[in-house]
DNA sequence: CTCTCTCTTAATTTTCTCTTAATTCTGTCC
DNA sequence: GGACAGAATTAAGAGAAAATTAAGAGAGAG
């Protein structure tokens, strides 16, 4: 899950970045609006979520919002969480009405930011699904996205390491969709160009020990998917 | 736009109701969880948005959330904005993770409530299915180009190897058009004039085992095609 | 600072796909 | 009918992609 953090306060940005990557997000951080725009337009490193600070040096964050929505077409709509020191009512209203999907005022607690991100995620990802809680259930496997635990059938709940969790979540959020090795790589890591790594393969292997061998299917030459379960 | 307000504080509820109806919302107000549930399940008076107070007399609002989602099927998903006096972090996180789409703590300003409702509305509207079926169906054969699988009549879905898939896709994307061996070669590989390779022939042969012998027709001396099917 | 768990790398094995090449089949033309 | 060319069939070896394994590097927790 790739998050784009648009924030010019380096100290804050670092804190958020650490917290997010600890949860398995891949974080791209930029300080300027124009950099954000170019990332949104890019095919491969387009983020799944955007955290947008309104107080940017080069442009007003509010002006950025419509541009972001313009770039990200309807089919790959990217939700935006606004982060702002402006806690006055008109600012909130303006932010939300300009296209923000949520509005959090500084100072904030990281746990709340994370929870609100999960809401946006599940909205964006689970379009086809009825479950709107923090757990995704698909066939024999259910995955709790807030505590990173999975359960096979009615077995024990076990905790997944970060990378394994990220991969499983990506696959389970879009059942039936194939993700290539490159796609998974770009969602797991920041602007990588490391072509020759089989880290994803190894994580998949370890995941299959936990989900059962058949849950994650391989489409040879293309990628991996989990089936849509009835 | 119909809003269901689940709130036992009558004074507050009245204020919200007035504000909402002034903005053109139709408001149903109930004070108990079970009443909310029955409204959600009802066919005709199912709301478009729910504002849920967590401190209800008859049941915990958090227990209500999954039930609401259960009742409202995937096609008419109803977003829930949680309203609560509990402003502690764990409460917020629990609320959002249980399926809440936003969390507003009391006391709040009505303008912010309205702005956040607009966000939920907007998002619900954006809920257009993105899963455009990328399948080409032609006569007895249908080919899913996103997961590289084909189906013959109503049989099993089977996966096609890469080269076979490419060939079948080319042929099925332009039914009625004839492709020569050279054309297929040049589409499959980047070299045009490999003189003596019958790799394409072999792939076609293997394809015909899966599509039935007649699906891909041979025009002797020219190439291959699949018919336009009515 | 040390210990433990996680992540990545890299080598190896396994599995399946692709191509080659030899052979048979089929239609066409003289 | 016979000869020819193009296409179909078949089997086997080469090749590529993925799975597996083990070990060392790295990050977090105490």
CATH number of the domain bearing residue B155: 1.10.10.10
- Say if residue A19 is in the same domain as residue A116: yes
- pTM, entire model: 0.78
Q: Where are the alpha helices (DSSP H) in A5-150?
A: 10-22, 33-41, 61-71, 89-97, 110-125
A77 to B126: CB separation less than 8 angstroms, yes or no:
yes
A128 to B129: CB separation less than 8 angstroms, yes or no:
yes
- Say if residue A106 is in the same domain as residue A141: no
- Say if residue A96 is in the same domain as residue A11: yes
Per the model's pLDDT, the better-predicted residue between A40 and B177 turns out to be: B177
- Say if residue B155 is in the same domain as residue B168: yes
Query: What mean pLDDT value characterizes chain A?
Result: 86
What six digits make up the tokens of B169?
Answer: 């896709």
A118 to B109: CB separation less than 8 angstroms, yes or no:
no
- Say if residue A7 is in the same domain as residue A105: yes
Tally the C-alpha atoms within 13 A of residue A160's C-alpha that lie toward its C-beta.
30
Instruction: Find the residue in A nearest to B66 (Cα).
Output: A133
State which residues form the domain around B221.
Answer: 128-226
Q: What is the pLDDT of residue B172?
A: 93
pLDDT over 70 percentage in chain A: 90
- Say if residue B101 is in the same domain as residue B9: yes
- Say if residue A119 is in the same domain as residue A197: no
Instruction: Find the residue in B nearest to A115 (Cα).
Output: B93
- Predicted confidence (pLDDT) at residue A83 exceeds the cutoff of 50: yes
The last residue of one of the domains, among B124, B145, B162, is B124
End-to-end CA distance of chain A: 25
The last residue of one of the domains, among A98, A124, A150, is A124
Q: What is the pLDDT of residue B133?
A: 60
- Say if residue A82 is in the same domain as residue A135: no
Q: Does A202 contact strand D, using a CB cutoff of 7 Å?
A: yes
Segment A137-184, tens digit of pLDDT: 999 999 998 889 999 988 889 999 999 999 999 999 888 888 988 888
The last residue of one of the domains, among B79, B104, B124, is B124
- Predicted confidence (pLDDT) at residue B173 exceeds the cutoff of 70: yes
Give me the mean pLDDT over the A79-98 stretch: 91
- Say if residue B147 is in the same domain as residue B109: no
- Say if residue A100 is in the same domain as residue A17: yes
Question: For the domain that residue A119 is a member of, what is the CATH number?
Answer: 3.40.50.2300
Q: What is the pLDDT of residue B73?
A: 58
Cα–Cα distance measured from residue A162 to residue A208, given in angstroms and rounded to the nearest whole number: 15
- Say if residue B63 is in the same domain as residue B21: yes
What six digits make up the tokens of B135?
Answer: 């399948």
pLDDT over 70 percentage in chain B: 89
A128-132, B135-139, B188-192 — most confident range: B135-139
Q: Spell B119-147 as b/e; 16+ CB within 10 A means b.
A: bbbebbeeeeeeeeeeebebbebbbbbbb
- Predicted confidence (pLDDT) at residue B136 exceeds the cutoff of 70: yes
- Say if residue B84 is in the same domain as residue B174: no
Which nucleotide, over all strands, has the C1' atom closest to the CA of B160?
C17
A192-206, A214-228, B34-48, B72-86 — most confident range: A214-228
Q: What is the pLDDT of residue B129?
A: 43
Q: Straight-line distance from CA B230 to C1' C21, in Å?
A: 40
End-to-end CA distance of chain B: 44
Number of domains in chain B: 2
Q: What is the pLDDT of residue B67?
A: 84
């Amino acid at each position: 899950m790739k998050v784009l953090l648009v924030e010019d306060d380096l100290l804050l940005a670092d804190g958020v970045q650490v917290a997010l990557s600890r949860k398995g997000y891949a974080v791209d951080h930029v300080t300027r609006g124009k950099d954000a725009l170019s990332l949104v337009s890019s095919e491969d490193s387009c983020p799944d979520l955007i955290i947008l600070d309104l107080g940017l040096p080069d442009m007003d964050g509010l002006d950025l919002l419509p541009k972001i929505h313009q770039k990200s077409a309807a089919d790959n709509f990217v939700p935006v969480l606004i982060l702002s020191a402006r806690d006055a009512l008109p600012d909130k209203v303006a932010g939300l009405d300009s296209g923000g999907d949520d509005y959090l005022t500084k100072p904030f607690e990281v746990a709340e930011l994370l929870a609100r991100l999960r809401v946006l995620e599940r909205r964006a990802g689970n379009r086809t699904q009825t479950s709107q809680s923090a757990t995704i259930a698909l066939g024999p496997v259910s995955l709790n996205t807030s505590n990173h635990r999975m359960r096979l059938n009615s077995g024990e709940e076990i905790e997944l390491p970060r990378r394994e969790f990220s991969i499983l979540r990506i696959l389970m959020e879009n059942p039936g969709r194939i993700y290539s090795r490159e796609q998974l790589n770009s969602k797991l890591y920041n602007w990588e160009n490391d072509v020759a790594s089989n880290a994803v393969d190894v994580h998949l292997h370890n995941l299959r020990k936990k989900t059962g061998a058949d849950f994650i299917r391989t489409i040879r030459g293309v990628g991996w998917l989990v089936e849509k379960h009835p």
